Amino acid sequence: MKNKIAIFLILFLISPVSHAQDIKFPALQGFKIMTKYPVYVRDNLWDFIDGAADTYLAYGFADVHVAEYRKGKQVIKAEIYRHSDHTMAFGIYSSERSPSFHFVNMGSQGYIEDGVINFFKGNYYVKIRTYSTKPKILQATEALAGNIASMLEGSTEMPAMLAIFPGEGKKPDEEAYVNESVLGHSFLSNAFKANYQVGNDNFSIYIVKNSSPEASRKTVEEYCASTGIDVVDSGDGKYVLSDGYNGKIFLAWKNETIVIISGLEKDQADLANKYSSEILK
Q: pLDDT, tens digit, for every residue of 169-195?
A: 999 999 999 999 999 999 999 999 999
CA distance 205 to 165: 8
Average pLDDT for 7-22: 44
Task: Report the first-to-last Cα separation within the chain, whole angstroms.
Answer: 60
- Percent pLDDT > 90 in the chain is 86
Instruction: Specify the CATH class of 160-280 in words.
Output: alpha beta
With 90 as the cut, is the pLDDT of residue 114 above it? yes
pLDDT above 70 covers a percentage of the chain that reads 90
DSSP symbols for the chain: -HHHHHHHHHHHHHSPPP-PPPP-PPP-TT-EEE--S--EETTTTHHHHGGGHHHHHHTTEEEEEEEEEEETTEEEEEEEEEESSHHHHHHHHHHT--TTSEEE-SSSEEEEETTEEEEEETTEEEEEEE----HHHHHHHHHHHHHHHHHS-S--SPPGGGGGS--TTBPTT--EEE-S-GGG-TT--SEEEEEEEETTEEEEEEEEE-SSHHHHHHHHHHHHHHTT------SSSEEEEEETTTEEEEEEEETTEEEEEES--GGGHHHHHHHHHHHH-
Per residue in 54-80, pLDDT tens?
Answer: 999 999 999 999 999 999 999 999 999
Q: Flag the least confident range among 21-35, 82-96, 142-156, 247-261.
A: 21-35
Confidence (pLDDT) at 83: 98
In this prediction, residue 234 has a pLDDT band, given cuts at 50, 70 and 90, of low
Q: What is the pLDDT of residue 22?
A: 81
Could you tell me if 126 and 151 are in contact, meaning their C-beta atoms sit under 8 angstroms apart?
no
Mean pLDDT score of the chain, rounded to an integer?
91
Per-residue confidence band for 274, with pLDDT thresholds at 50, 70 and 90: very high
Q: How confident is the model at residue 4 (pLDDT cuts 50, 70, 90)?
A: very low
Nearest-angstrom CA–CA distance, 31 and 144: 11
Is the model's pLDDT at 17 over the cut of 90? no
| C-alpha torsion sign, points 10, 11, 12, 17 | positive
Mean pLDDT of 138-149: 98
Where do the structural domains in the chain lie, given as residue ranges? Answer: 19-151, 160-280
> What mean pLDDT do residues 108-137 have?
97
